[in-house]
Amino acid sequence: MDEEAVAVAPNGQEDAPTGAPLPILDEPDKPSIYAATIDDIEQAAGRIAPHAHFTPVQTCRSLDQLAGSRSLFFKCEIFQRTGAFKFRGACNSVFALSEEEASKGVVTHSSGNHAAALALAAKLRGIPAHIVVPRTTPQCKVDAIMGYGGKLHFCEPTMEAREEACARVQAETGAVFIPPYNYGPVIAGQGTIALEFLAQVPDLDALVVPISGGGMISGIALAAKALRPGIKVIAAEPAGTNGAPDTALAKMAGWVVPCARTDTIADGLQGRLGSLTWPVVRDLVDGVVVVDEAEIVNAMRLIMERMKLVVEPSGAVGLAAVLSPAWASGHVTRECTRVGVVLCGGNLDLGAKGFWDMWLPKSQQAQDED
């Protein structure tokens, strides 16, 4: 397989990777009816305005230079409520429910940013949020979900167990299931990022968006292309240590191909494209830049050192893409000089890596080890 084609996969169809494809989610030549429209996104913006933050855009001259003298503009979703963009989609989904639907609450299965976001959105509306999480979920995430008012339901750490537990809670409570990305109101909520970004920096050449299940980039692409048809929307994706960039492979093949779960430090980007997000990614995302683990870590370090901002690995993948050789050489991206980068989340678990221990006196470190 051609390495450059994997690194930057344009809209044009190419030979499919080896292996039997999954069923095509939508015929390539059939006009798509997407899960959200620009009207839906604008309505979502009004719906979430009383609750969500209008996040700032920041710049950094030293990062501009490292990016080949491009002008980079960072949309700081790290400052969104719950520390990630996910609150937009969760908030729109919760407040779009009818009074009858909302009265029985909402439910989801997640141990990440979506869980906390849905818990907070439900709390703001005054309804229950049932969150199914694996029993192996780190305590810091459990504490965050509980802190936002979520009602926890533990299960075994498998997708089958999560789905079964979620279905059981839904059957018992009548709660409305709110998926993390493959859901129209979630996609519309995430699209409000683009409305804000293009109001703040109207003359961007490209928007770079980390991709997982595709909810964020779908909403952003739908909004951005409606407002500025010529803007490039670029997905930033980790290859992982097992070389599994499913979006890049899908874009080249024209369908969602079989692919292992990506083994990556960017654990928020391990989802798979859904039936509602894939058509948007297929049609409106102009390219995919794939980055490795070292590039992600380097981008995190640069953001923290140069911008003094805390980002989780998933949140740094956009900058990693812009700084990568694939960006400089890709025919879709190399001419883009004013680039918007979404810093999608800042929920970094510093304690998990023993970060704070190294600052303690050696005598205290020894006590802690005992």
Check whether 23 has a pLDDT greater than 80. Answer: no
Q: Could you say which of 71, 75, 86, 232 is catalytic?
A: 86
Check whether 301 has a pLDDT greater than 70. Answer: yes
The reported pLDDT for the residue numbered 17 is 32
Check whether 26 has a pLDDT greater than 70. Answer: no
* C-beta neighbour count of 60 within 10 angstroms: 19
Quote the pTM value: 0.88
Residue-wise pLDDT tens digits, 317-336: 999 999 999 999 988 898 89
Cα(275)–Cα(34) distance, integer angstroms: 10
Check whether 243 has a pLDDT greater than 60. Answer: yes
98 part of the active site: no
The chain-wide mean pLDDT, for the chain, equals 88
Q: Work out the percent of the chain whose per-residue pLDDT is above 70.
A: 88
Q: Cα–chain-centroid distance for residue 361?
A: 38
| pLDDT bucket at 160, cuts 50 / 70 / 90 | confident
Residues spanned by CATH 3.40.50.1100 within the chain?
38-83+183-347, 86-177
At the top level of CATH, the class of 86-177 is: alpha beta
The reported pLDDT for the residue numbered 13 is 30
The reported pLDDT for the residue numbered 368 is 57
Q: The CATH number of 38-83+183-347 is which of 3.40.50.2000, 3.40.50.1100, 3.20.20.60, 3.90.45.10?
A: 3.40.50.1100
C-alpha closest to that of 59 among 337, 297, 345, 307: 307
Tell me the two tokens of residue 238. Answer: 């980790």
The reported pLDDT for the residue numbered 2 is 33
Q: Work out the percent of the chain whose per-residue pLDDT is above 90.
A: 70
Check whether 7 has a pLDDT greater than 80. Answer: no
Is there a contact between 108 and 183 (Cβ–Cβ < 8 Å)?
Answer: no
The reported pLDDT for the residue numbered 309 is 97
Among 17-31, 74-88, 161-175, 299-313, the range scoring the smallest mean pLDDT is 17-31
Most confident of 156-170, 205-219, 255-269: 205-219
* Cα 266 to Cα 25, 31, 57, 237, 293, distances in angstroms: 26, 34, 22, 9, 8
The reported pLDDT for the residue numbered 359 is 79
* Cα 152 to Cα 108, 160, 186, 301, 321, distances in angstroms: 10, 17, 21, 34, 36
Averaged pLDDT, 291-300: 96
Check whether 28 has a pLDDT greater than 50. Answer: no
The reported pLDDT for the residue numbered 195 is 98
Averaged pLDDT, 4-19: 32
Check whether 29 has a pLDDT greater than 70. Answer: no
Q: Which residue has the tokens 């409520």?
A: 81
* C-beta neighbour count of 99 within 10 angstroms: 7
Q: Where are the alpha helices (DSSP H) in 324-361?
A: 325-329
The reported pLDDT for the residue numbered 25 is 42
The reported pLDDT for the residue numbered 267 is 87
Half-sphere exposure of residue 55: CA atoms within 13 angstroms, side-chain side:
31
* Residues paired with residue 289 on neighbouring β-strands, in sequence order: 8, 236
The reported pLDDT for the residue numbered 262 is 87
What are the CB-based long-range contacts (under 8 Å, 24+) for 59-64? 60/306, 60/307, 62/306, 63/302, 63/306, 63/307, 63/319
Averaged pLDDT, 46-58: 98
* Cα 65 to Cα 10, 68, 75, 125, 197, distances in angstroms: 26, 5, 19, 45, 22
Residue-wise pLDDT tens digits, 83-130: 999 999 999 999 999 999 999 999 999 878 999 999 999 999 999 999
111 part of the active site: yes
The reported pLDDT for the residue numbered 364 is 63
Averaged pLDDT, 40-45: 98
Q: Could you say which of 93, 111, 218, 314 is catalytic?
A: 111
Q: Where are the alpha helices (DSSP H) in the chain?
A: 3-7, 38-48, 61-66, 86-95, 99-102, 113-125, 139-147, 159-173, 184-200, 215-227, 246-253, 277-284, 293-307, 313-323, 325-329, 362-369
Ramachandran quadrant class, 285 (left: phi over 0; alpha: psi -120 to 50; beta: rest): beta
